[in-house]
């Protein structure tokens, strides 16, 4: 089989990121439509064992690029290694998650390969062998259909866009080891260490449930009620730009156009007015619940369910009800 769809697998501490499993699941569907193979590409150090973890999600072949220089992500090393492997393999399409790494790596690969790319996609269509990508524009107010002429077509896909397929434990995949062959000129930066924040809550961009607080939280000390609720339902805790600008939450928790773009199954907005900037970051959530004292708050225009009232009374009540449901 020639060509094929390639998924660049992102891993953290040898654990595959959920968005990569989502892409494998959707890639399997697209590969079947094309009648071509689905290939998982795993760069890193000591990642050979991950080959068995991607096969159940649909990969026909796994390309392992194992090198000491790929232990910690750096733009130069990953771009150099993947550029050469992609050129040699000649895939029809290359897909990455629209994560911090994906957003950094994909445009550089596109430049090296001399092709265009579509970023932050929320849909992929395949008709007569040609790909088209759906992506939000104008802060999520409209969607563009993007077609790329040159191959390989390159795109980053927003986490939580596609469901993860049920893994097939009996599925086997061919494994190939490729040399990183990194150019010395590309090693302009060396990461010595990465300090990871330890949290039992899911990462914001991959969380299925997010509960966020805005200006209506009145202060940083009040986020504890959101955290208590989040811990009951396995949610991540987010914040609006107003809350971050006020110093109530760290910037890494900001949801919005200048923060993180999320697409959870459930988004609970507490004390958030619904500024356009915030809606651009969470408008693609499957179900939106808004809690606000102001019945005219803009957040209610996009909410599937709205609760007009005091969040300091409502959220604790929801937490108690969630505890009953979970137990």
Q: Look up the CATH number of the domain holding residue 161.
A: 3.40.50.620
Would you list the DSSP string of 78-106?
A: HHHHHHHHHHHH--SEEEEESSHHHHHHH
Are residues 227 and 146 part of one domain?
no
Number of domains in the chain: 2
Q: What is the pLDDT of residue 7?
A: 98
Are residues 148 and 68 part of one domain?
yes
Q: Please report whether residue 198 resides in a domain.
A: no
Q: Among residues 91, 106, 96, which one has the least CA distance to residue 9?
A: 96
Q: Please report whether residue 269 resides in a domain.
A: yes
pLDDT tens readout for residues 94-142: 999 999 999 999 999 999 999 999 999 999 999 888 999 999 988 778 8
253/305 Cα distance (integer angstroms) = 23
Are residues 226 and 173 part of one domain?
no
**Residue ranges of the chain with per-residue pLDDT less than 70:** 1-2, 196-198
Are residues 47 and 182 part of one domain?
yes
Q: Please report whether residue 194 resides in a domain.
A: no
126/193 Cα distance (integer angstroms) = 41
Q: What is the pLDDT of residue 198?
A: 65
How many other CB atoms sit within 10 Å of the CB of residue 190?
A: 10
Are residues 138 and 68 part of one domain?
yes
Range of 234's domain? 204-326
How many other CB atoms sit within 10 Å of the CB of residue 168?
A: 12
Are residues 180 and 213 part of one domain?
no
Q: What is the pLDDT of residue 197?
A: 66
- How many DSSP H helices and E strands does the chain contain? 8, 17
How many other CB atoms sit within 10 Å of the CB of residue 49?
A: 10
> Domain ends where: 132, 152, 186?
186
142/147 Cα distance (integer angstroms) = 17
Are residues 156 and 48 part of one domain?
yes
Are residues 160 and 290 part of one domain?
no
293/290 Cα distance (integer angstroms) = 10
User: Which pair of structure tokens corresponds to residue 111?
Assistant: 């430049």
173: Cβ contacts below 8 Å, ≥ 6 apart: 40, 51, 54, 55, 59, 60, 61, 62
Are residues 126 and 9 part of one domain?
yes
Are residues 212 and 100 part of one domain?
no
| pTM of the full structure | 0.86
Q: What phi and psi values does residue 75 have, to the nearest 5 degrees?
A: -55, -50
3-state secondary structure of 10: coil
Are residues 254 and 137 part of one domain?
no
> Domain ends where: 186, 219, 248?
186
DSSP code, position 306 = E
CB 301 within 8 A of CB 282: no
Q: Please report whether residue 197 resides in a domain.
A: no
CB 186 within 8 A of CB 213: no
Q: Please report whether residue 229 resides in a domain.
A: yes
Distance of CA 146 to the CA centre of its chain: 19
Q: Please report whether residue 193 resides in a domain.
A: no
Q: What is the pLDDT of residue 12?
A: 87
CB 58 within 8 A of CB 20: no
> Domain ends where: 123, 157, 186?
186
Q: What is the pLDDT of residue 141?
A: 81
User: Which pair of structure tokens corresponds to residue 179?
Assistant: 């040399």
Q: Among residues 23, 9, 89, 24, which one has the least CA distance to residue 60?
A: 24
* CA distances to 112, 159, 185 from 154, in Å: 12, 16, 24
CB 25 within 8 A of CB 164: yes
How many other CB atoms sit within 10 Å of the CB of residue 198?
A: 4
Q: Please report whether residue 59 resides in a domain.
A: yes
Are residues 89 and 214 part of one domain?
no
Q: Please report whether residue 195 resides in a domain.
A: no
For the domain that residue 269 is a member of, what is the CATH number? 3.40.50.1220
Secondary structure percentages of the chain, helix, strand, coil, to 5: 35, 25, 40
């Amino acid at each position: 089989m020639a060509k094929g769809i390639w998924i660049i697998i992102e891993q953290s501490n040898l654990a595959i990121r959920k968005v990569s499993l989502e892409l494998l699941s959707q890639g399997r569907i697209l590969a079947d439509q094309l009648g071509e193979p689905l290939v998982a590409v795993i760069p890193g150090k000591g990642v050979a064992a991950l080959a068995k973890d991607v096969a159940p999600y649909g990969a026909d072949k796994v390309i392992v690029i194992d090198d000491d220089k790929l232990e910690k992500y750096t733009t130069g090393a990953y771009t150099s290694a993947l550029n050469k492997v992609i050129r040699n393999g000649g895939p029809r399409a290359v897909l990455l998650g629209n994560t911090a790494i994906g957003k950094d790596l994909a445009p550089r690969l596109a430049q090296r390969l001399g092709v265009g790319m579509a970023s932050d996609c929320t849909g992929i269509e395949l008709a007569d062998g040609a790909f088209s990508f759906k992506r939000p524009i104008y802060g999520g107010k409209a969607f563009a259909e993007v077609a790329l002429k040159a191959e390989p077509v390159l795109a980053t896909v927003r986490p939580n866009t596609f469901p993860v397929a049920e893994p097939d434990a009996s599925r086997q995949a061919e494994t190939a080891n490729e040399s990183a062959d990194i150019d010395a000129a590309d090693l302009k930066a060396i990461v010595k260490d990465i300090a990871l924040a330890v949290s039992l809550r899911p990462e914001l961009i991959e969380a299925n449930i997010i509960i966020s607080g805005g200006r209506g939280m009145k202060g940083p000390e009040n986020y504890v009620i959101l955290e208590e609720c989040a811990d009951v339902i396995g949610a991540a805790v987010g914040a609006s730009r107003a809350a971050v600008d006020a110093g109530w939450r760290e910037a890494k928790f900001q949801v919005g156009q200048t923060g993180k773009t999320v697409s959870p199954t459930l988004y609970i907005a507490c004390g958030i007015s619904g500024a356009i900037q915030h809606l651009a970051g969470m408008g693609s959530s499957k179900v939106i619940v808004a809690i606000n004292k102001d019945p005219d708050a803009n957040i209610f225009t996009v909410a599937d369910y709205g609760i007009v009232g005091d969040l300091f009374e409502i959220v604790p009540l929801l937490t108690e009800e969630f505890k009953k449901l979970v137990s």
